[in-house]
């Protein structure tokens, strides 16, 4: 690189959107070591952050916190656009954090779809289904019948299968007595915790966690249609 030339770099970063205590948040590495700062008298340093938030629902979105002074530029339905642009003395020395909440008295939800990126080793699209319970605390809680469908193919080896096991263990533990649930795993084959929807109680919860510890083994291929077809028949069968 010849001295004085401009250098442009594009960095792609992907991570899951965290949800805790009613807020969605991201925490993205954005720290630069001191030795990459050019001499202040010779070069102007500009910092620019563009952020697009797709909340997935046409509800009121409230900004809860950000590490950098973002300004909201526009809103288009469920999409919000933020911008931070400034001349700075030094590059950022703190990570970029952003959190927001969705305010609504109604139950709402949706599906977010993301296509695979160019040169991604896994060229399959990914999707996320979410449900927001709303802020109406007087609404009567309805009985739930939940079936957890888990991919245990070879691509889930290591941390992915452990994360799923921990998440489902937590979800099952937080179901109310009177709810119903089942767990179905699939790879080349299909395995179920039970042949029917089990009623939630201390015993079935403990049995389910023990079953996951024994049966959540990542191996084999992926056959998604088999469990989806099988789950349709569970709806009418309860213990």
Q: Identify whether 158 is part of a domain.
A: yes
For the stretch 168-226, pLDDT in tens is: 999 999 898 889 999 999 988 888 999 888 999 989 999 999 999 998 998 888 887 88
pLDDT exceeds 70 at position 24: yes
Q: Which of the four pLDDT bands, split at 50, 70 and 90, describes residue 3? A: low
DSSP 3-64: TT-----------PPEEETTEEEEEE-----GGGPPPTTT--EEEEEEEEEE-SSSSEEEEE
Please report whether residue 219 resides in a domain.
yes
Q: Quick one: pLDDT band at residue 110, thresholds 50, 70, 90? A: confident
Say yes or no to pLDDT of 163 above 60: yes
Number of domains in the chain: 2
Q: What is the pLDDT of residue 57?
A: 64
Question: What average pLDDT score do residues 33-51 get?
Answer: 74
Residue 5 falls inside a structural domain: no
Domain annotation covers residue 9: no
Domain interval for residue 178: 140-234
CA 176 – CA 195 distance, rounded (Å): 21
Interval 52-66: pLDDT, tens = 887 766 667 788 889
Does residue 36 sit within a domain? yes
Query: Quick one: pLDDT at residue 105?
Result: 66
Average pLDDT over residues 18-43: 78
Domain with residue 224: its CATH number is 3.40.50.410
- The predicted pLDDT at position 97 comes to 92
Closest CA to 162 of 122, 215, 216, 92: 216
One domain, residues 91 and 172: no
Q: What is the pTM of this model?
A: 0.53
Q: Residues 6 or more apart from 128 whose CB is under 8 A from it?
A: 17, 111, 112
pLDDT, one tens digit per residue, over 128-153 is 777 766 666 666 677 888 999 999 99
Cross-strand bridge partners of residue 151: 186
Domain membership of residue 11 (yes or no) is no
* 226 and 152 within one domain: yes
Boundary residue ending a domain (52, 80, 103): 103
Q: Domain for residue 128, yes or no?
A: no
* Statement to judge: residues 27 and 93 lie in one domain: yes
User: Measured at the alpha carbon of residue 189, what is the angle toward residues 200 and 161, in degrees to the nearest 5?
Assistant: 60
């Amino acid at each position: 690189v010849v001295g004085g030339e401009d250098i442009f770099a594009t960095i792609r970063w992907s991570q899951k959107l965290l949800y805790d205590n009613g807020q969605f948040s991201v925490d993205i590495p954005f720290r630069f070591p001191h030795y990459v700062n050019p001499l202040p008298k010779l070069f102007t340093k500009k910092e620019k952050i563009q952020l697009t938030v797709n909340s997935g629902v046409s509800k009121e979105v409230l900004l809860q916190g950000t590490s950098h002074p973002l300004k909201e530029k526009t809103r288009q339905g469920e999409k919000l656009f933020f911008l931070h642009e400034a001349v700075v003395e030094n590059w950022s020395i703190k990570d970029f954090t952003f959190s927001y909440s969705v305010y609504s008295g109604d139950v709402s939800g949706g599906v977010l779809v993301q296509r695979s990126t160019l040169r991604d080793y896994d060229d399959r699209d990914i999707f996320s289904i979410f449900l927001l319970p709303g802020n109406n605390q007087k609404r009567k809680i309805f009985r739930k019948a939940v079936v957890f469908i888990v991919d245990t193919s070879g691509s889930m080896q290591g941390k992915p299968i452990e994360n799923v096991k921990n998440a489902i263990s937590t979800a099952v533990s937080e179901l109310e007595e009177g709810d119903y649930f089942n767990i179905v795993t699939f790879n080349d084959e299909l395995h179920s915790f039970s042949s029917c929807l089990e009623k939630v109680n201390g015993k079935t919860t403990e049995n389910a966690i023990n079953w996951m510890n024994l049966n959540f083994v990542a191996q084999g291929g992926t056959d998604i249609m088999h469990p989806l077809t099988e789950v349709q028949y569970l709806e009418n069968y309860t213990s």
